[in-house]
Amino acid sequence: MDTTTHPLTVFAVTDVEGMVAFYQAAFGWERRADFPIYVELALPDGRGLAFYEREAFGLNTGVVPAPVAAGELTGAELYLRCEDLGAAIERMDGAGARVLRARTLKDWGDEVAYFADPEGNVLAVAQPRDVT
């Protein structure tokens, strides 16, 4: 059996502090690593969500990711489950997230609302529902 784990998700971004401010306003996650070009937030399950300045990110990968034009989306989605979807949606609105799709019940049993963060990453907030 493979022992690969997923401790961290990293987004290459143009505005590190702007992204940190957005995610802290929406979720209240605290910083666990803090550098001018890289900030990592601690999620409640022990994982991390990090924002790496685009040019510096490119030093690691060998290629600088292209920025996303205003109003466009990246090909990434962060899917999060919450206990109170209504409250999560209010926090997203308060943080300035762009609404992509209003809350709706999905075939897989989650009620989900879709947003875009300030740099065009898709952010889904979901709550399990009984679909029987």
The per-residue pLDDT for range 16-27, each reduced to its tens digit, is 999 999 999 999
80-108: pLDDT as tens digits: 999 999 999 999 999 999 999 999 999 99
Q: What is the pTM of this model?
A: 0.93
Segments of 1-132 assigned E as strands: 8-13, 30-35, 38-42, 48-53, 77-81, 98-105, 110-116, 122-128
Q: Is the dihedral of CA 15, 83, 132, 99 positive or negative?
A: negative
- What is the rounded distance in angstroms from the CA atom of residue 86 to the CA atom of residue 76? 23
Q: At which residue do the structure tokens 């502090």 appear?
A: 17
8 band by pLDDT with thresholds 50, 70 and 90: very high
- Give 73-132's CATH code, choosing from 3.30.70.890, 3.40.30.10, 3.30.720.110, 3.10.100.10: 3.30.720.110
Residue 116 forms beta bridges with which residues? 98, 122
Per-residue pLDDT at 113 exceeds 70:
yes
Domain residue spans in the chain? 1-63, 73-132
- Give 1-63's CATH code, choosing from 3.40.50.300, 3.30.720.120, 1.10.1740.10, 3.90.1330.10: 3.30.720.120
In the prediction, which pLDDT does 1 show? Answer: 85
